[in-house]
């Protein structure tokens, strides 16, 4: 008798494969199997080529539970020191995000706190946020720098991001966001700061292997289109992909710029216009929607969802987890808000936190349940895909697999920092 070839086979699943081009690709009474961390079979149970026990070492029925690809949070700033709950209060009392920023609060206040926080402390403060995302189904995570705005602290943030990935056993993609805000010590030397970022910080941190992609805050309270362009030129020379905080508070024509550089994504997009959409469609740049920031800032202007649909721009959804505008610790909640606030369909929202989020990070090896993909998957305490954006809060994850391994069986994240 042949020995079973597959490591694990799940039976009786409601699969949301996210593998076709528009829907979330449901297969009822489905089965999915993997070997050496990759999916080797997916389809209807009654089409399995042999008896389950002859096919796999371990066979498990999930009794009709929903199984999806592992969720992917493609835009977070979750490594930072302190918090900004005081600003939440100020905003509720009428102060705008821009007013707070101009008065020395906002991003710059988190910069002060982050500069004052050691690597171990940053790690300890950030770990619960990453764990919260994981416990809600996230198996791949992007984390940006941008609260250091000087070499040492930017490096510290990126190292902490890498360390979180190692300790949690998940993929963390790091993004360098040196052009996030002008640090106070450069208030009258803007050009010098942009030069420092482009000519010193970016190449240095890239040479240390700490940067997977490059981002900027292209905004009237952030950096201009020209300054962003300098950064993108340097990124291009270094062979690093770009993405952009674009058209969040005003239209700076940032989406067209990032598309021109073949960027992975343009993010926020409440003020995106038609020319930006066309450029994104032509370049294959993903639209990353961040309803947490829209909600927390009590914005009223919606991103142009219908136009994005009409032009076939794929939409991803992310938490934007950050201490100022989106203190959000659940990607499912972001998906839920993308439906209620932005009018995405539940299918679009699920594609937004799986396949399209993978593309926004440049991954083609994950985000769907298909043969050859990494076996990153979630077994949910839910039976239908729409439930993932329908339930608000709660804990729906039954089991998480990362590259075929049950996450609960991996070594638990240590509370204390490892060797540093």
The span from the CA of 41 to the CA of 57, in Å, is: 14
Using CB positions, name the residue nearest to Fe ion: 320
Question: Minimal distance in Å, beta carbon 59 to ligand DI6?
Answer: 45
In 3D, which of 388, 295, 287, 293 has the Cα closest to residue 346? 388
Question: Minimal distance in Å, beta carbon 38 to Fe ion?
Answer: 32
Q: What is the dihedral of CA 399, 364, 126, 166, to 10 degrees?
A: 80
Shorter beta-carbon distance to Fe ion: residue 140 or 175: 175
Shorter beta-carbon distance to ligand DI6: residue 268 or 374: 268
The span from the CA of 14 to the CA of 417, in Å, is: 39
Contact (CB, 8 A) for 256 and 285: no
Q: Which of these segments, 153-161, 172-180, 233-241, 319-327, binds Fe ion (CB under 5 A)?
A: 319-327
Shorter beta-carbon distance to ligand DI6: residue 170 or 321: 321
Contact letters for Fe ion, residues 351-390 (x by CB under 5 A): ----------------------------------------
Shorter beta-carbon distance to Fe ion: residue 320 or 347: 320
Residue 136 engages Fe ion in binding (rule: CB under 5 A)? no
- Position of tokens 């009428």? 94
In 3D, which of 317, 405, 292 has the Cα closest to residue 72? 317
Question: Minimal distance in Å, beta carbon 322 to Fe ion?
Answer: 6
Residue 320 engages Fe ion in binding (rule: CB under 5 A)? yes
Q: Which residues bind ligand DI6 (CB under 6 A)?
A: 77, 106-107, 110, 180, 217, 245, 248, 293, 320, 322-326
Using CB positions, name the residue nearest to ligand DI6: 324
Residue 106 touches which member of ligand DI6, Fe ion, none, C-beta under 5-8 Å by kind: ligand DI6
Shorter beta-carbon distance to Fe ion: residue 41 or 80: 80
Strands 265-268 and 286-289: what pairing?
parallel
The span from the CA of 79 to the CA of 161, in Å, is: 7
Q: In what order do the strands lie in the sheet with 71-73?
A: 71-73, 138-144, 171-179, 213-218, 243-246, 265-268, 286-289, 315-317
Q: How many CB atoms lie within 10 A of CB 152?
A: 9
Shorter beta-carbon distance to Fe ion: residue 180 or 332: 180
In 3D, which of 178, 172, 82, 177 has the Cα closest to residue 121? 82
Contact letters for Fe ion, residues 38-77 (x by CB under 5 A): ----------------------------------------
- Position of tokens 């239908």? 384
Residue 325 touches which member of Fe ion, ligand DI6, none, C-beta under 5-8 Å by kind: ligand DI6
What is the SS3 assignment for 382? coil
Shorter beta-carbon distance to ligand DI6: residue 98 or 204: 98
List of residues contacting Fe ion (CB under 5 A): 320
């Amino acid at each position: 008798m042949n020995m079973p070839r597959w490591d694990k086979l799940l039976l009786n699943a409601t699969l949301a494969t996210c593998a076709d081009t528009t829907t979330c690709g449901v297969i009822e009474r489905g089965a999915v199997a993997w070997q050496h961390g990759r999916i080797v079979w997916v389809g209807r149970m009654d089409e399995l080529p042999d008896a389950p026990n002859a096919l796999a070492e371990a066979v498990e029925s999930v009794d009709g539970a929903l199984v999806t690809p592992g969720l992917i949070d493609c835009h977070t700033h979750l490594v930072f020191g302190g918090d900004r709950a005081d600003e939440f209060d100020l905003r509720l009392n009428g102060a705008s995000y821009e007013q707070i920023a101009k008065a020395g609060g906002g991003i710059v206040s988190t910069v002060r706190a982050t500069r004052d926080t050691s690597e171990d402390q940053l790690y300890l403060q950030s770990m619960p946020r990453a764990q919260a995302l994981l416990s809600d189904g996230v198996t791949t995570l992007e984390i940006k720098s941008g609260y250091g705005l000087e070499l040492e602290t930017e490096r510290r943030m990126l190292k902490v991001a890498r360390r979180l990935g190692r300790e949690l056993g998940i993929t963390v993609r790091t993004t360098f966001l040196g052009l996030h805000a002008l640090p106070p010590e450069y208030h009258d030397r803007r050009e010098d700061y942009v030069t420092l970022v482009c000519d010193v910080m970016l190449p240095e941190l890239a040479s240390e292997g700490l940067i997977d992609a490059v981002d900027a805050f292209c905004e009237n309270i952030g950096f201009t289109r020209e300054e962003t362009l300098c950064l993108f030129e340097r990124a291009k020379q270094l062979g690093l992909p770009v993405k952009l905080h674009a058209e969040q508070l005003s239209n700076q024509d940032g989406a067209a710029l990032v598309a021109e550089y073949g960027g992975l994504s343009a993010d926020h997009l409440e003020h995106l216009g038609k020319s930006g959409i066309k450029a994104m469609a032509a370049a294959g740049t993903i639209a990353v929607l961040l309803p947490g920031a829209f909600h927390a800032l009590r914005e009223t202007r919606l991103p142009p969802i219908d136009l994005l649909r009409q032009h076939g721009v794929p939409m991803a959804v992310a938490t934007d987890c950050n201490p100022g505008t989106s203190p959000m610790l659940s990607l499912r909640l972001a998906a839920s808000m993308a439906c209620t606030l932005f009018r995405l369909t539940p299918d679009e929202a699920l594609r937004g936190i799986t396949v399209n989020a993978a593309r926004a990070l440049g991954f083609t090896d994950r985000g769907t349940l298909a043969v050859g993909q990494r076996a990153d998957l979630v077994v949910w305490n839910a039976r239908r895909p729409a439930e993932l954006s329908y339930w608000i809060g709660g804990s729906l994850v039954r089991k998480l697999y990362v590259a075929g391994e049950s996450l609960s069986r991996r070594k638990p994240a240590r509370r204390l920092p490892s060797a540093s």
